[in-house]
A = this chain, B = another copy of it.
């Protein structure tokens, strides 16, 4: 299922520990090992993967990095509010998060309602449409997420 889309030339605009530290300080908050661990996890796995809070917790445990589940939740919310992570609303599971990047204002999902298989794709047309709608109502666009519900070839066959 690897979409070959994630071609090269990705200039890391992703905050590392130092960037994260100053961002937090600007808000009167602190850099903690837990926060570093959560962000580092997302950086490690790259932009393509969506994780639930539970999955983040499990992966950290597996990596010998102890972070309580409650803190995972708090940190996911924090990093999202800072714009470092993006929250997704996929039809299937509950809340999921992925690393935010500039590319993500224009990064969409197609989910098979039969088996849950998810493909990602990009489309500037969608972003353009979102901006048009925002302008029309005087809104300031933050990001737009298109979720295409569909049947994958295998599931389409069975129905």
Judge whether A149 and B145 touch: CB under 8 Å: yes
* Assembled-state Cα–Cα distance A109/B129 (Å): 12
* Interface: A68 (CB within 8 A): no
B119, B126, B137: which contacts A146 (Cβ < 8 A)? Answer: B126
The interface size bin for chain A is: 35 or more
Q: Digit string of A129-152 for contact with B (CB within 8 Å is 1, else 0)?
A: 110111011111111111111111
Judge whether A148 and B144 touch: CB under 8 Å: yes
Question: In chain B, what residue has the closest Cβ to A123?
Answer: B129
- Number of this chain's copies in the complex: 2
Judge whether B140 and A156 touch: CB under 8 Å: yes
Judge whether A151 and B142 touch: CB under 8 Å: yes
* Interface: A73 (CB within 8 A): no
Kindly list the 8 A-B residue pairs having the minimum CB-CB distance in the complex, ordered from nearest. A139-B150, A89-B89, A123-B129, A144-B148, A121-B133, A138-B153, A142-B149, A130-B148
Q: Apart from A126-B146, A139-B150, A145-B147, what are 14 other A-B pairs with CB-CB below 8 Å?
A: A87-B91, A89-B90, A89-B147, A113-B142, A125-B128, A125-B129, A126-B126, A126-B129, A130-B146, A134-B150, A137-B152, A141-B148, A142-B149, A142-B151
